[in-house]
Amino acid sequence: MKIVNTGNVYRIYDDNLRTYDQLPPQTYIVRFSQFSGFYLELKEDIKVNEKIYGVHAQKVDKVMNSFKKFNRNLGVILSGAKGIGKSVCAKLIAERAVSEGYPVITVNEYVKGIADFLSEIQQEVVIIFDEFDKTFVSKRRGNDEDPADAQAELLTLLDGMEQGKKMFIVTCNSLEKLNEFLVNRPGRFHYHFRFGYPNPAEIREYLQDKLDRKFWGEIDKVINFSSKVDLNYDCLRSIAWELSQGYTFESSIQDLNIINIERERYKIQVVFSDGTKTQTREQYLDLFDSDSEVEVELKYMNKGSVYVTFNPIHGNYNTTLGATVVDGSKVKDVQWYLYNDDNDIDDDDTEIEKAKKREESAENERIKALHVEYIVITRKYDKNIHYMV
């Protein structure tokens, strides 16, 4: 029998009771009971048993080195779309933390008062809020607070000066759903790692690792496809499985749950046979509709409007420098014409005006004799979140 005394209360436990001055370096999850309140439940330590791609390892080193040197709490935001490595990065940090003697606590549900409970842990720990934009927005357990209050409650925890600094890791898909006092506040969240989709080199490395060499011929098709559709690692894992079964990429993509549900924005550049170029920066296209033609209006220097009609799905695609290049000689029905102001010579024109119109007419005839060498279609991405210097 073990007896534990707190204040005027004595509780009786069996002989399995153990007491610690500090949490052992293990992995825990926060639980809540209406009868006993908050407590920590031991869970299996997080292990990452697969090859990691991208810059995850460098980010983990950076975070752990800073946490050791900081004399205050350290916050880390991991943001980005689903399936591109946020949770993997959080797991890598957790795995490293436990191996270096830090307990790891995961939080997957909001209950009022959780900030006070976590602040009572007076030792150096790592606390992970996975899918924070979902967990700390929805109303939980009948709480009537405004959803923003769930995040605001943590502000005192993040700024806390209690004994034992803490590392707070937040993963989220949508930055817009984070409290305004969390974003652009490096005093609270020192780091913000934004994870993007794998680039062509990373896709090639991933698929070469997953596929027998006899299937490598399909890899370029996947890379070309990724210039039109964002592929996360969940998508690549499924594609690799299909290819490893001997299916072609064309047949695999017809059956996989990877679908085209919206038009993407593109910059379209047209290059003519004399080397001149014209472009439009904001064009919505569906590059998967083989029956639709695209007519694009572009300005040709100061000569007027150029209209180019083509069917991009029949092009020869590659992803040099991240652009989809459509070779004009292989694009179905590339047509174009120049529309400009009427420059017919009138009797009332002065000699200078007549000379100018004759010069413009000759220039227009030269332009109309040009043919399209090729068209460059480049996907438009939202403005970079981090500053570029």
Cβ 122 vs Cβ 23: under 8 Å: no
pLDDT at 296 exceeding the cut of 80: no
Measured between alpha carbons, how far is residue 241 from residues 28, 60, 162 in Å? Answer: 34, 29, 50
What local confidence, expressed as pLDDT, does residue 5 receive?
82
The pLDDT value given to residue 324: 60
**Interstrand relation of 294-300 and 304-311 (parallel, antiparallel or unpaired):** antiparallel
Query: Which of 51, 58, 26 is closest to 41 using CA atoms?
Result: 26
Pairwise pLDDT comparison (26 vs 263), residue with the higher score:
26
Predicted model pTM: 0.75
Please tell me the distance from the alpha carbon of residue 143 to that of residue 342, in angstroms, as a whole number: 70
pLDDT band (50, 70, 90) for residue 292: low
- Residue 54 and residue 202 in contact, taking contact as beta carbons nearer than 8 Å: yes
Q: How far apart are CA 4 and CA 19, in angstroms?
A: 10
Give the pLDDT score at 290. 63
Residue 312: pLDDT band by 50, 70, 90 thresholds? low
pLDDT value at position 75?
93
Nearest to 169 by CA among 233, 89, 57: 89
Q: How many CA atoms lie within 13 A of 209 on its CB side?
A: 12
Amino acid of residue 49: N
CB 105 within 8 A of CB 125: yes
- Tell me the pLDDT of the chain averaged across its residues: 81
Distance CA 112, CA 150 (A): 7
The token pair that represents 43 in the structure block: 């869970």
Whether the per-residue pLDDT at 168 is higher than 60: the answer is yes
**How far apart (Å, rounded) are the C-alpha atoms in residues 361 and 356?**
9
Closest CA to 316 of 327, 305, 300, 308: 327
Which pLDDT band, with edges at 50, 70 and 90, does 321 fall under?
A: very low
4 pLDDT above the threshold of 90: no
Q: Is 382 exposed, middle or buried (0-12, 13-18, 19+ CB in 10 A)?
A: exposed
Would you tell me the crossing angle of helices 219-226 and 200-210 to the nearest 10 degrees?
150
pLDDT in tens, 80-126: 888 888 888 999 999 999 999 999 999 988 888 898 899 889 899 99
Query: Is the pLDDT assigned to residue 48 strictly greater than 80?
Result: yes
Reduced to 3 states, what is the DSSP secondary structure of residue 143? Answer: coil
Q: Is residue 167 predicted with pLDDT exceeding 90?
A: yes
Least confident of 61-65, 205-209, 336-340: 336-340
pLDDT of the residue at 166: 93
For 58, list phi and psi in degrees, rounded to 5.
-65, -40
DSSP string covering 148-188: HHHHHTTHHHHT--SSS-EEEEEEES-GGGS-TTTTT-TTT
Return the axis-axis angle of helices 233-244 and 200-210, rounded to nearest 10°. 40
Best mean pLDDT range from 20-29, 291-300, 332-341: 20-29
Long-range contacts of 259-267 (CB under 8 A, 24+ apart): 260/229, 260/286, 260/288, 264/228, 264/379, 264/380, 265/379, 265/380, 266/377, 266/378, 266/379, 266/380, 267/376, 267/377, 267/378, 267/380
pLDDT tens for 57-66 read: 889 999 999 9
Provide the token pair at 337: 């014409």
Of 215, 200, 186, the C-alpha closest to 317 is 200
Instruction: Please state, in angstroms and rounded to a whole number, the distance separating the CA atoms of residues 37 and 116.
Output: 12
**β-pair partners for 237:** none
More confident residue, 33 or 285: 33
Q: Which residue has the higher pLDDT, 315 or 224?
A: 224
Query: What number does CATH give the domain 22-194?
Result: 3.40.50.300
Domain boundaries, the chain: 22-194, 200-255, 264-379
- Band (pLDDT 50/70/90 cuts) for residue 138 is very low
pLDDT band at 327 (very low <50, low <70, confident <90, very high): low
